[in-house]
């Protein structure tokens, strides 16, 4: 029986997933999210609203912009993907990931960690809540500023609990990191954070 | 795949107006002024900044007198109209470029790297921002907060 071999340029693995805390074109991804659109439950990946709408995931062009909010409820946007949306997020430069098991509302003084593509993993205490950074409001701010350009959208977390997505820097009694509480994603964009992975794409 | 977005919460009028008025032309930028060479928009807000990565080649178009950033991040090459950091001014003379406080002269053709945020120009925003003519309603523009490097 003759066998025909065909060379292909690229092999797409059906096991590819997209995660929070990953490298995007201009930012870092936050957490897996979902919302109902009509009767359909649609899964996606969050980042900061001020990130460019057109984003690659690493070197993969697998994200489609859906919507963004930069206003009263913070600074967030989300994208659907041709790959499975994971509920895990990267939390270190050693490629380790955490499973998102819960969503929390941070209180003043609470110790949280953040992961971003530029500065990696940094931790700090919540300084205050409900601040505006220019047009973006209801943000929480940390004691200091450690994030840098490219970290926007990355996850703020403690253990396996999601608390926020990184926003930027606010000068309020010194420079301070800011984040959009994930509990505001519902009001901002109708989103909830995933604690289970999304379905595999058909 | 695109979806209809649910209605966004209304911004309080005062804050939104203040935000938009903070974006203004530093150099004479009216289309009615034929003597102005380039249109330079600066964001005079100074209480905070966004931390998206911004990088690309600075371009200048003589027909509309607009500077754009030819973005080289990711696979989709795009050009974005630019809102510069506070205090930025257009260069006098024949060279197309700007002078950014704390950075110096940045010329068309140079590669910029830094940080900021991307915004979509919404209906009704144009008069306050003065951005019409450089960016169309529904298109994104980039607000550059910091420039970490620039080179030709």
Distance, CA of A119 to CA of A132 (rounded, Å): 24
Q: Give the pLDDT confidence of A86-134 residue by residue, as tens digits.
A: 999 999 877 899 999 999 999 999 999 999 999 999 999 999 999 999 8
Strand partners, B64: none
> Distance from B100 to chain A by nearest Cα, in Å?
18
The pLDDT score that the predictor gives to residue B129 is 65
Are A164 and A152 within 8 A, CB to CB?
no
Are B52 and A28 within 8 A, CB to CB?
no
The pLDDT score that the predictor gives to residue B19 is 56
Domain boundaries, chain A: 17-89+186-193, 101-181
The pLDDT score that the predictor gives to residue A3 is 64
Residue A44: list chain B partners with CB under 8 A: none
CATH number for region A17-89+186-193: 2.40.10.10
> Distance from B14 to chain A by nearest Cα, in Å?
11
- Quick check: helix, strand or coil at residue A165? strand
Q: Please name the residues in contact with B62: beta carbons below 8 A apart, sequence gap of 6 or more.
A: none
Q: How many CB atoms lie within 10 A of CB A183?
A: 19
Output the six-digit token pair for A78. Answer: 């989300």
The pLDDT score that the predictor gives to residue B3 is 43
Report the residue from A37, A56, A133 with minimal CB separation from B74. Answer: A56
CA distances from B89 to A73, B24, B42 (A): 33, 12, 8
CB contact under 8 A, A135 and B16: yes
CATH 2.40.10.10 fits A101-181, yes or no: yes
| Closest chain A residue by Cα to residue B145 | A149
Strands lying side by side in the sheet with B97-100 = B89-90, B97-100, B104-107
Distance, CA of A64 to CA of A45 (rounded, Å): 10
B7 contact A CB<8A? no
What is the pairing mode between strands A97-99 and A161-171? unpaired
Distance, CA of A175 to CA of A149 (rounded, Å): 14
Interface A–B counts its CB contacts (< 8 A) at: 135
Q: Where are the alpha helices (DSSP H) in chain A?
A: 185-189
Element (H, E) at B129: helix B126-129
Distance, CA of A19 to CA of A92 (rounded, Å): 13
Are B38 and B96 within 8 A, CB to CB?
yes
Q: How many CA atoms lie within 13 A of B35 on its CB side?
A: 3
Are B49 and A168 within 8 A, CB to CB?
yes
Q: Please name the residues in contact with B127: beta carbons below 8 A apart, sequence gap of 6 or more.
A: none
> Which of B97, B85, B59, B70 has its CA nearest to residue B147?
B85
pLDDT tens per residue, chain B (152 residues)?
A: 344 444 444 444 445 445 554 554 444 344 434 455 788 998 887 789 999 999 999 999 888 889 999 987 766 678 999 999 999 999 988 889 999 999 999 999 999 999 999 999 988 776 566 787 899 889 999 999 999 999 87
Distance, CA of B23 to CA of B45 (rounded, Å): 8
CA distances from B119 to A106, B103, B137, B143 (A): 28, 23, 11, 7
CB contact under 8 A, B74 and A54: yes
A194 contact B CB<8A? no
> Which of B123, B141, B126, B148 has its CA nearest to residue B55?
B148
Distance, CA of A116 to CA of B59 (rounded, Å): 30
B102 contact A CB<8A? no
φ, ψ (nearest 5 deg) of residue B120: -105, 130
Q: What residues of chain B, 74 to 93, have a C-beta less than 8 Å from chain A?
A: 74-76, 78
pLDDT along chain A (202 residues), means of 10: 55 74 97 96 98 95 97 98 98 90 98 98 98 95 98 98 98 97 98 97 82
Give me the residue label for tokens 């253990």.
Answer: A159
Q: Which of B2, B4, B47, B48 is the best mutation test for A, with the most CBs of A within 10 A?
A: B48
**Global pTM exceeds 0.90:** no
């Amino acid at each position: 029986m003759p066998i025909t071999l065909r060379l292909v340029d690229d092999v797409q693995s059906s096991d590819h997933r997209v995660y929070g805390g990953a490298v995007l074109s201009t930012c870092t991804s936050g957490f897996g999210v979902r919302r109902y659109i009509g009767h359909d439950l649609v899964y996606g990946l969050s980042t900061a609203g001020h990130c460019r709408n057109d984003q690659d995931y690493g070197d993969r062009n697998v994200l489609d912009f859906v919507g963004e909010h930069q206003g009263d409820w913070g600074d967030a946007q989300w994208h659907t993907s041709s790959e499975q949306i994971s509920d895990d997020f990267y939390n270190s430069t050693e490629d380790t990931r955490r499973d998102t098991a819960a969503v929390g509302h941070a209180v003043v003084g609470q110790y949280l960690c953040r992961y971003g593509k530029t500065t990696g993993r940094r931790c700090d205490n919540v300084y205050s809540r409900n601040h505006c950074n220019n047009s973006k409001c209801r943000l929480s701010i940390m004691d200091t500023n450690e994030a840098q350009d490219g970290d926007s959208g990355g996850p703020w977390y403690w253990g396996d609990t999601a608390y926020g997505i990184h926003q930027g820097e606010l000068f309020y009694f010194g420079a301070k990191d800011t984040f959009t509480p994930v509990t505001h994603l519902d009001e901002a964009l109708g989103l909830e954070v995933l604690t289970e992975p999304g379905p595999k794409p058909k | 795949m695109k979806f209809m977005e649910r209605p966004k919460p209304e911004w309080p009028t005062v804050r939104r107006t203040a935000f938009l008025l903070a974006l203004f032309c530093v150099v004479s930028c009216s289309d009615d002024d034929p003597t102005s060479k380039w249109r330079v928009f600066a964001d005079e807000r100074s209480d905070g900044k966004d931390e998206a990565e911004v990088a690309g080649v600075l371009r200048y178009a003589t027909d509309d007198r607009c500077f754009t950033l030819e973005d080289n991040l990711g696979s989709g090459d795009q050009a974005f109209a630019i809102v510069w950091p506070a205090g930025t001014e257009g260069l006098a003379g024949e060279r197309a470029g700007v002078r950014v406080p704390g950075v110096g002269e940045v010329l068309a053709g140079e590669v910029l790297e830094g940080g900021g945020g991307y915004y979509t120009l919404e209906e009704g925003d144009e008069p306050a921002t003065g951005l019409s003519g450089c960016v169309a309603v529904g298109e994104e523009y980039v607000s550059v907060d910091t420039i970490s490097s620039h080179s030709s």
